[in-house]
Amino acid sequence: MKFSKRLEQLPEQFFARLVAQVAAAVNEGRDVINLGQGNPDQPTPQHIIEALHEASDDPSTHKYSPFRGIQSLREGAADFYLREYNVELDPETEISILFGSKAGLVELPMAMMDPGDVLLLPDPGYPDYLSALSLSGAEMATMPLTQENGFLPVFDDIPEDIRKKAELMYLNYPNNPTGAMADGSFFEVAIDFAKKHDIAICHDFAYGALGFDGKRPVSFLQQEGAKDVGIEMYTLSKTYNMAGWRVGFAAGNAQMIAALDRLHDHMYCSLFPAVQRAAVEALTGPQHHITEAVERYSQRRTRLVEECAKIGWKIEAPAGSFFAWLPVPEGFTSQEFADKLLAEVDVSVAPGNGFGSHGEGYVRVGLVVEEERIAEAVQRIGKLGLFQN
């Protein structure tokens, strides 16, 4: 049976491979501590679940939703941005409802780019950004994220010929996988660069609620001129522990929103209306659990740093997200180190090379298991004697 070249060119799904490796080990009866995942470990807040129950009992939600989402969800997303970031958005023209932000990130190049156009991607970066390349036919140029630059791209280092061909740039702060944060001045520079070179920006704000040490993540849309050049994608997965619900939205530039909506018109008939009503409750209802979640992740971060120090593993505490970006010991590649941890001490981490060539030399650790399990994982690693105290 013949399949399309587009399908054949799709990269192997990085996280699917990680999940399969862990599942195989667990099926052998091994006690695996999975630090490689990016799935919140706490349940969805009860008031959101109750909103789903109530909505699903309403027969009107059993019918097709409006193609572009229910009005109350678009309005709820706009209200959320006004409350949280003091950003005004028109729910009719500046909000697009998504099947999770991953769908939007993959779809945007399909809506905006032609074969040969260049998509500027962070390296290391979220692996599923690469899916957009194969599906759109676009080309890729990477923006290295290095520790010496605070894991921020240096726009002056982008070659002139790439600037001319680039149509779209992805940014992501708080950053997956490095845990770095960006401030308003960085986004101002990004906006100026985009305007000068006629490049659109998509800011992936998946971890927008998760900043540590009293520092709140900054929205791209808070900066003057942001809506002139770009959009921000927000997911309810992390902020509201709704990863399995698959609901998010894009916000910002009306032309980019219209392009996404037009593509959705041909691909979807929008989300289950009851899920959309529950999402409205998430965005507009009680928000106290977010503070609790940040504190929980902060405590886990502190414990990770403390335990790593005990075994001589010198690491940097992440500024945001629920990931930590840890250097591998001398003599190992990222993949070799990750394989060794799973094979010998039943600890799963995500090898940094899976996030791009500049991820080599690191592993990503998720703060998505209980504090004591994080401590146990590091203690198991310490028994391998790979670090100097």
The answer to whether 208 touches 219, Cβ cutoff 8 Å, is: yes
Please give the Cα distance from 177 to 289 (Å, whole number).
24
Domain count, the chain: 2
Query: Looking at the structure, do residues 299 and 269 belong to the same domain, yes or no?
Result: no
Query: Looking at the structure, do residues 78 and 211 belong to the same domain, yes or no?
Result: yes
The answer to whether 277 touches 70, Cβ cutoff 8 Å, is: yes
Domain boundary among 233, 257, 284: 284
**Position 122 in a domain:** yes
Please give the Cα distance from 338 to 331 (Å, whole number).
13
**Position 53 in a domain:** no
Please give the Cα distance from 94 to 254 (Å, whole number).
5
Domain boundary among 284, 313, 337: 284
Instruction: Give the single-character DSSP code of 182.
Output: -
Query: Looking at the structure, do residues 183 and 323 belong to the same domain, yes or no?
Result: no
**Position 95 in a domain:** yes
Q: Give CA separation, 292 vs 13, 320, 352, in Å.
A: 32, 15, 29
Query: Looking at the structure, do residues 293 and 274 belong to the same domain, yes or no?
Result: no
**Position 185 in a domain:** yes
Q: Is 18's pLDDT higher than 80?
A: no
What does the block give as tokens for 330? Answer: 């001398």
Instruction: Tell me the longest C-alpha to C-alpha distance in the chain.
Output: 63
**Position 252 in a domain:** yes
Please give the Cα distance from 146 to 127 (Å, whole number).
17
- Over residues 309-359, the pLDDT tens digits come to 999 999 999 999 999 999 999 999 999 999 999 999 999 999 999 999 999
Please give the Cα distance from 230 to 253 (Å, whole number).
5
Query: Looking at the structure, do residues 148 and 270 belong to the same domain, yes or no?
Result: yes
Instruction: Give the pairing type, strands 323-327 and 362-366.
Output: antiparallel
Query: Looking at the structure, do residues 227 and 362 belong to the same domain, yes or no?
Result: no
The answer to whether 326 touches 313, Cβ cutoff 8 Å, is: yes
- Over residues 293-312, the pLDDT tens digits come to 999 999 999 999 999 999 99
> For position 138, which CATH number holds?
3.40.640.10
Query: Looking at the structure, do residues 190 and 296 belong to the same domain, yes or no?
Result: no
**Position 16 in a domain:** yes
**Position 153 in a domain:** yes
Domain boundary among 250, 284, 318: 284
What does the block give as tokens for 360? Answer: 């080599």
Query: Looking at the structure, do residues 279 and 309 belong to the same domain, yes or no?
Result: no
**Residue 17: predicted pLDDT:** 75
> For position 323, which CATH number holds?
3.90.1150.10
**Position 69 in a domain:** yes
Q: Is 44 left (phi over 0), alpha (psi -120 to 50) or beta?
A: beta
- Which residue has tokens 């991607």? 121
Instruction: Give the single-character DSSP code of 360.
Output: T
The answer to whether 367 touches 179, Cβ cutoff 8 Å, is: no
Query: Looking at the structure, do residues 71 and 199 belong to the same domain, yes or no?
Result: yes
CA dihedral 218, 219, 225, 229 (to 10 degrees): 130
Instruction: Give the single-character DSSP code of 206.
Output: T
DSSP 94-113: SEEEESSHHHHHHHHHHHH-
- Over residues 216-268, the pLDDT tens digits come to 999 999 999 999 999 999 999 999 999 999 999 999 999 999 999 999 888 88
Q: Would you say how long the chain is, in residues?
A: 389
Please give the Cα distance from 389 to 387 (Å, whole number).
6
3-state secondary structure of 10: coil
Q: Is 16's pLDDT higher than 80?
A: no
The domain in which residue 12 lies consists of 5-44+288-382
Query: Looking at the structure, do residues 299 and 260 belong to the same domain, yes or no?
Result: no
Query: Looking at the structure, do residues 278 and 292 belong to the same domain, yes or no?
Result: no
Q: What's the mean per-residue pLDDT of the chain?
A: 93
